[in-house]
Amino acid sequence: MENNTKSILREFITESFLPSAGLDSFEDADSFLDKGIIDSTGVLELLEFIEEKFAIKLEDEEVIPDNLDSLNKLTSFIDRKKGHAG
């Protein structure tokens, strides 16, 4: 399950953000902020994608670095949310 979430997210981030970040690849633990992978308009795209793809609803308070700022954090956050949702 987790691997699936992770690979979906990795594909989306690679396709949507890596070109404009000027990067070829990124590590699972890389901070999106520190590595410049996502900018502030990118975060909105990422949130929209997550809500749609995983059919979950994000609260404003959840949009924080602890939940979102690396592929690892994002994956476990979404899997946690999905777990709670049902």
Tell me which residues touch other proteins (CB under 8 A). Answer: 15, 18-23, 32-33, 36, 38-41, 43-44, 59-65, 68-69
Spatial distance between the Cα atoms of 20 and 40, rounded to a whole number of angstroms: 13
Q: How far is the CB of 73 from other proteins (least distance, A)?
A: 12
By beta-carbon proximity to other proteins, the closer residue of 4 and 53 is 53
Q: At its nearest, how many Å lie between other proteins and the CB of residue 82?
A: 20
